[in-house]
């Protein structure tokens, strides 16, 4: 692993532009290296932050991007719980990302078949990899320390064979979802967590410096060869005692 960087911003207003620059800089690097940029997205507050900041960039070119999802809820695309649906309305419809570059689930399928179908799509997108190697993953973390749809004490935390897994008993509604597994998450070239707000402070302290850290799914994100960023704001960092980077105004990562 290239090392973990914990970068603290005064507020989400300063974090957002730095995140957008991190995405576009890694995109340029990937396209120069192998002709495309593959990224998997998470939902929640990331949708509005990323959409706003990417759309604010001049001359954003997404024509060589391939975008998938770290997890997705098994709901129709017009449902407000659909992560794809939210990104489509707030971002995808406003940029030059080709439809063929968006990897979506098929929400009409039962959850097990949906996971198998998404596995097939990933294998077609990454034909040379046993485990898909995304150029970048953007992750969030819940107050319980979950990330993707990988929840504390859930059997899926130990999944090593599947690259996409179904979940029918999500403790957070809706109960049916599909999620990337840790082998895929930890194979990525760059992983960036975005975590903001004081409600995240207690679990963030446990995940980043607690002895019981591995009990939290987010603490198990340790890229084998890639970069790991934690981009957080002051309220989320309030309980940390480890050394962190303080981002200057206009900081670029």
**What residues make up the domain containing 155?**
38-225
Residue 174 included in any domain: yes
- The number of domains in the chain is 1
- Position 93 in a domain: yes
Domain annotation covers residue 5: no
Q: Which structure tokens are listed for 187?
A: 């194979």
In this prediction, residue 1 carries a pLDDT of 45
Q: What is the pLDDT along the chain (253 residues), one digit of tens a residue?
A: 457 999 999 999 999 999 999 999 999 999 999 999 999 999 999 999 999 999 999 999 999 999 999 999 999 999 999 999 999 999 999 999 999 999 999 999 999 999 999 999 999 999 999 999 999 999 999 999 999 999 999 999 999 999 999 999 999 999 999 999 999 999 999 999 999 999 999 999 999 998 776 789 999 999 999 999 999 999 999 999 999 999 977 777 8
Does residue 137 form part of some domain? yes
Could you please report the per-residue DSSP string of 65-122?
EEEEESEEESS-TTSTT-HHHHHHHHTGGGS---GGGB----TTS-HHHHHHHHHHHH
Whether the CB-CB separation of 200 and 141 falls below 8 Å is answered with yes
Note whether residue 59 is domain-resident: yes
pTM of full prediction above 0.85: yes
Q: Is residue 54 part of a domain?
A: yes
CATH number at residue 87: 3.40.50.1360
29 part of a folded domain: no
244 contacts: CB under 8 Å, gap ≥ 6: 6, 7, 8, 237
Decide if 206 is inside a domain: yes
């Amino acid at each position: 692993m290239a090392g973990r960087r914990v970068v603290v911003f005064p507020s989400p207003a300063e974090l957002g532009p730095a995140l957008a620059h991190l995405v576009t800089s890694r995109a340029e690097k990937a396209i120069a290296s192998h002709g495309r940029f593959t990224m998997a997205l998470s939902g929640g507050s990331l949708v509005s932050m990323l959409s706003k900041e990417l759309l604010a960039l001049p001359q954003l070119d997404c024509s060589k991007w391939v975008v998938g999802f770290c997890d997705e809820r098994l709901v129709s695309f017009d449902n407000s719980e659909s992560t794809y649906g939210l990104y489509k309305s707030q971002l995808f419809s406003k940029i030059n990302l080709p439809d063929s570059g968006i990897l979506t689930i098929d929400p009409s399928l039962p959850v097990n078949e949906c996971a198998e179908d998404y596995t097939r799509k990933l294998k077609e997108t990454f034909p040379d990899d046993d485990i898909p190697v995304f150029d970048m993953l953007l992750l969030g973390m819940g107050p319980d320390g979950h990330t993707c749809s990988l929840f504390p004490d859930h059997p899926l935390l130990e999944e090593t064979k599947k690259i996409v897994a179904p979940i029918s008993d999500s403790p957070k509604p809706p109960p049916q979802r599909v999620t990337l597994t840790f082998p895929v998450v930890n194979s990525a070239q760059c992983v960036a967590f975005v975590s903001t707000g004081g409600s995240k402070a207690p679990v963030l302290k446990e995940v980043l410096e607690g002895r019981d850290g591995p009990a939290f799914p987010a603490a198990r994100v340790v890229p084998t060869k890639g970069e790991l960023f934690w981009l957080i704001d002051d309220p989320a960092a309030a309980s940390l005692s480890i050394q962190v980077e303080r981002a200057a105004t206009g900081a670029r990562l």
